[in-house]
Amino acid sequence: MGHEGAGGEEYLFKIVLIGDSAVGKSNLLSRFARNEFDSNSKATIGVEFQTQVVDIDGKEVKAQIWDTAGQERFRAVTSAYYRGAVGALIVYDITRKTSFDSIKRWLDELTTHCDTAMIKMLVGNKCDLENIRDVSVEEGQSLAEEEGLFFIETSALDATNVQTAFEIVIREIHNNISKKVI
């Protein structure tokens, strides 16, 4: 995706968003891709992916970011969803502990369906709701350390760290591939 291979070909980096229903996956993507927030979550059903060009150190890098489009509600994210993904944002809601407890299950999904070299970022979303926080920053950090994940807290509502979360993943993928090409 925007990355020039040895033969000048373009690579497209596939990144998947996963996590329990209603943690804010669709809004993270709409905030990142269109700088929009939608309080009516139903409106996002049906969106499958967005292609986004990101500037990494002066280079245009293209990422195709997939949204579950509501599939996760029925615990039926298909293997086609994961196929070819080189990055993942695994999202929970900092105000809902059960969504954090589900992270291990989502990581198991990635182990089953994806390459172990995949770049993974644990995302604690809804950090604007500090007053009803249910998962501490430290809990997020220590799970990320245990599992070898990047970690960030975000708010799709007020746009905190949304750009940064996606950019870190895209940059890491880009750097890994560049190393292989050289």
| Cβ–Cβ under 8 Å, residues 117 and 46 | no
Q: Please list every residue from 71 through 100 that binds ligand GDP, using CB under 6 A.
A: none
**Residue 129 sits in the site that holds ligand GDP (CB under 6 A):** yes
Q: Which segment (58-66, 77-85, 120-128, 136-144) binds ligand GDP by CB under 6 A?
A: 120-128
Residue 128's closest CA among 53, 28, 21?
28
Residue 124's closest CA among 106, 144, 140?
140
Pairing of strands 49-56, 59-66: antiparallel
Select 59 or 97, whichever has its Cβ closest to ligand GDP: 97
**Residue 125 sits in the site that holds Mg ion (CB under 5 A):** no
Cα–Cα distance measured from residue 49 to residue 20, given in angstroms and rounded to the nearest whole number: 18
Select 61 or 156, whichever has its Cβ closest to ligand GDP: 156
Select 61 or 89, whichever has its Cβ closest to ligand GDP: 89
| Cβ–Cβ under 8 Å, residues 111 and 104 | no
**Residue 125 sits in the site that holds ligand GDP (CB under 6 A):** yes
Q: Which segment (109-117, 125-133, 138-146, 171-179) binds ligand GDP by CB under 6 A?
A: 125-133
**Residue 12 sits in the site that holds ligand GDP (CB under 6 A):** no
Instruction: Write out the H or E segment, with its range, that includes residue 103.
Output: helix 103-113
* Contacts to Mg ion by CB under 5 A: 25-26, 44
